[in-house]
Structure 1
Amino acid sequence: MSKDYYFQVAGFTFNVRLCGKPDIERLLPSFRSFLCDGSPHEKLLFYFVETPVSDTISDRDVLLEDNVNDMGRTRLWRTSTGYRIELRFMADGTAHYLYTDPYFTFVKAKIDWNDSYVGEVLSSMLRIVFSQAVIYYGGISVHAATVVLDGKAYLFMGKSGTGKSTHAALWQECFPGCELLNDDNPTIRIANGKAIAYGTPWSGKTPCYKNLCYPIGGIVRLSQAKENRFTLQENVDAFITVLPGCSGIRQNSDQYGELCDTLARLVCLFPVGKLECLPDRQAAVLCKEKLKMY
C-alpha cells in the first residue's frame, strides 16, 4: 500500500508517493516545515513514485556524469526516454535508482529500504529532481551560503573550501540581526518582478531548513586571497560570475538555455560582486559596505 506526501519548496508543490507507511518526519526531518496539504488535481512541479523498476543499463544509455563527493556517489545517464540516475550514500554503498522523463516531471524510484542511509538518499533524490524540474518554471537551485540582514538575502558562492560558510558566519558575528537562511542549496527565482531567495530542505552540512523567502540584496563569489578586495561585476561579467554556482545538466541544451535565460534576467535585479578575501571580519564589513552602495 502506498501513501502520498506533498511538499512546497520555493512556491512549487510536488508529490512523493512511497510504498508502505514510512515515518516521513523521521525519514526526512529537514522537510517538516515544507509539508503541505496537496491535491492530486493541482498543478505539481513533479510526481515522485516509488515503484519496482529495472536497474539494467541499456547499450543506448549514455553516461553523462560520474561524481563522488561528501554526499556519496551519483551517476547520470541519458536514456531514450529521459534520464537514469544511480545514487549511493557511500561511494561503495547500496545503490538506489531514479528514472525520469526529459523534464523531470515524472520520476520512478527504486529504493532499498535496508540501507541505513535511506533517509539521506531519499533527500538527495528529491534535491536532484527538484533542482532540474524548477529550471523549466523559472527557478534555479544554487550552491551558496545565504544570510538575511535587514530583510534582504545575501548569497555567497565559490568553489568548495573557499569559505562560503565561514563568510556567512562572519556576517552573523558582525551584524546584529543577521541570520542564516540556508548554508548550501537555496533556490532563486523572480516573483512579482523581484529576485527572491528561498530556503529549502537541503542545506549541506549545516542544518538550516527554513521555509522562508527574502528579496535578494546581492550575490558574491568568494576566492581566497592575501588581502580583501571587492570588485563589482556587471552585465555579462555578472552572469558569468553566478553561472558556475547554478545546478543544471549542461549537456541538455534546452534546459541549459532555460537556465541561462532566467539567470540573465535575475542578475539585472541585484548587485553581483567578486570578493577576494581573508577569513576575517574586515572581509565581511567590506562586502556589506560595497553591496549597500549599489
Structure 2
Amino acid sequence: MPLYEVAGVAINIANDDSESFMYMRDFLLPQQRQQSKADLTFVFQSNEVIEVPQGNIISEENISFKWLKKTSGETGYYIYVQEFGIGKIMVLMDIENSWRKVVFTWCNYIGNDPQVMVNSQSQIRLATHIMMGIVFRYNLLHMDGLVVHASALEWNGKGLIFSAPSGTGKSTHVKLWQEYINDVIVLNDDNPAVRIINNQPTIFGTPWSGSAFIHSNESAPLFAIIVLEQAQDNVLRKLDRHEVILKLMPRVFLPYFDQNFMDKAMTIFENIITSVPVYLLKCRPDREAVELVYQCLK
C-alpha cells in the first residue's frame, strides 16, 4: 500500500496496482518515509454492478459526475461517474464527512472483448484520478490549504500564480515565461495548491494538472497572484481587496456544501490575499506581458 505526498498531505492508496495510479508517480514518498502516518486514505473494492446511491444532489459538475450528500441519518458524501454520463456507474466514491477516508468501488468489466476491457479500465483510471483530486481539495483544508484553478510557476525561489477563467490564456502565458525567462519551473498547469505555513502562503505542485498533465513535485513561497484578462494593450495594476474578491474567489475551489468547511476556507483565503499582492494583467500573449510581471519579481 504505497504512500504518496502532495502539498504535505500524506496519501495512503490501499491498492498495489501502480499502473492505475501512474498520474501520482512523481509524488511517491521515498522508501524511508513509507511508514509515515496518512492524512488521507483511499480504499478500493470492485463489483460487477454498482447500485445508484441515495442522497441529496449537491452538484452535477458535468454530464458524467454526480455528487450527493448522504441522508437518513448518515454523514458524508457520494460521488460517482457514469459511462457516457447516462449509463452504468463506472466508479463510486463513499466519502467520510471529514474527507479523510474514501472507499472507491470500481465496476468490473463483464465480457470477453479485450479492447472493450482496456477502454473500460482506462476510463476508470482517469475518472479515479480526477475524483481523488476532488477529495484532496477539501482534505487540504485541514492543513490550511486551498486549491486554485490556475497555472503556477517558480522562478528564482519565488512562486507565481496566474489565474483566469478557462480559455483566457493561463497556460499560454506560462509557456511564454518558459520561452523568455531562464530557469522557470512549472509547478502545475491547472490546479496548484496553496497552504499557509508559518503565517506565509506557499504554492505547491499537484498531480491534478488538467488534460496536459504538466506538473512538478516542487513548492515555493508565494510571491504574487496575477489575474489575467485578454486585451489589446499590456497593462499591469494592483487590485484592491474588493476587486480581489470579485476576480479571484471564483477561481478557488470552495466547499459551499458545508458551512464549517466554508468558514475555514474563507479564513485561509483571507490570509492568502492579505499576505501577497494580487495584480490584474490585461495583456496580449507576447514577451512584453511577461516583462511587466518579471520586473515586479525583480
TM bucket, shorter chain: 0.7 to 0.9
Q: Does 1:144 align with 2:150?
A: yes
Match of 1:76 among 42, 55, 67: 67
CA contact 1:5–1:35 (8 Å) conserved in 2: yes
Structure 1 residue 252: deviation in Å? 1.6
Q: How far apart, in 1, do the equivalents of 2:176 and 2:23 lie?
A: 25
3-state SS of 2:276 partner: coil
What is the RMSD computed on CA atoms of the aligned residues? 2.2
Q: Does 1:49 align with 2:55?
A: no
Q: Which amino acid counterpart does residue 87 of structure 1 have in structure 2?
A: V
Q: Which amino acid counterpart does residue 204 of structure 1 have in structure 2?
A: G
Structure 1 residue 239: deviation in Å? 4.0
3-state SS of 1:173 partner: helix
Match of 2:177 among 171, 189, 198: 171
CA contact 1:233–1:241 (8 Å) conserved in 2: no
3-state SS of 2:275 partner: coil
Match of 2:98 among 95, 103, 110: 103
For residue 209 of structure 2, what is the aligned residue in structure 1? 203
For residue 115 of structure 2, what is the aligned residue in structure 1? none
Instruction: Pick closer, same or farther for the CA change 1:222–1:267 going to 2, 3 Å.
Output: same
For residue 7 of structure 1, what is the aligned residue in structure 2? 4
For residue 125 of structure 2, what is the aligned residue in structure 1? 119
Q: Which amino acid counterpart does residue 64 of structure 2 have in structure 1?
A: R
Q: Which amino acid counterpart does residue 153 of structure 1 have in structure 2?
A: G
Residues 226-277 of structure 1, C-alpha deviations (whole Å, 9 max, x = no match): 2222221233433443322211331321111111101111112211111122
For residue 59 of structure 2, what is the aligned residue in structure 1? 65
Q: How far apart, in 1, do the equivalents of 2:142 and 2:270 lie?
A: 15
Q: How far apart, in 2, do the equivalents of 1:175 and 1:91 lie?
A: 43
Unaligned runs of 5+ in 1: none
State the TM-score, normalized to the length of structure 2. 0.85
CA contact 2:5–2:28 (8 Å) conserved in 1: yes
Structure 1 residue 98: deviation in Å? 0.6
Instruction: Pick closer, same or farther for the CA change 1:168–1:118 going to 2, 3 Å.
Output: same
3-state SS of 2:253 partner: coil
Q: Which amino acid counterpart does residue 30 of structure 1 have in structure 2?
A: Y
State the TM-score, normalized to the length of structure 1. 0.87
Unaligned runs of 5+ in 2: 110-119
Q: Does 1:27 align with 2:33?
A: no
CA contact 1:153–1:216 (8 Å) conserved in 2: yes
Q: How far apart, in 1, do the equivalents of 2:152 and 2:42 lie?
A: 28
Structure with a larger share of its residues in helix: 2
1:256-275 mapped onto 2 (5 Å cutoff): 256-275=262-281
Q: How far apart, in 2, do the equivalents of 1:113 and 1:10 lie?
A: 32
Instruction: Pick closer, same or farther for the CA change 1:284–1:91 going to 2, 3 Å.
Output: farther
3-state SS of 1:201 partner: coil
Q: How far apart, in 2, do the equivalents of 1:55 and 1:121 lie?
A: 18
CA contact 1:89–1:121 (8 Å) conserved in 2: no
Q: How far apart, in 1, do the equivalents of 2:163 and 2:157 lie?
A: 20
Structure 1 residue 206: deviation in Å? 2.5
Q: How far apart, in 1, do the equivalents of 2:108 and 2:219 lie?
A: 34
Instruction: Pick closer, same or farther for the CA change 1:50–1:159 going to 2, 3 Å.
Output: same
Structure 1 residue 82: deviation in Å? 1.1
Residues 118-148 of structure 1, C-alpha deviations (whole Å, 9 max, x = no match): 2212211211111111113211111111111
Instruction: Pick closer, same or farther for the CA change 1:269–1:118 going to 2, 3 Å.
Output: same
Q: How far apart, in 1, do the equivalents of 2:221 and 2:293 lie?
A: 18
Q: How far apart, in 1, do the equivalents of 2:218 and 2:191 lie?
A: 13
Q: Does 1:250 align with 2:256?
A: yes
CA contact 1:103–1:136 (8 Å) conserved in 2: no
For residue 233 of structure 1, what is the aligned residue in structure 2? 239
Q: Which amino acid counterpart does residue 238 of structure 2 have in structure 1?
A: L
Q: Which amino acid counterpart does residue 143 of structure 1 have in structure 2?
A: H
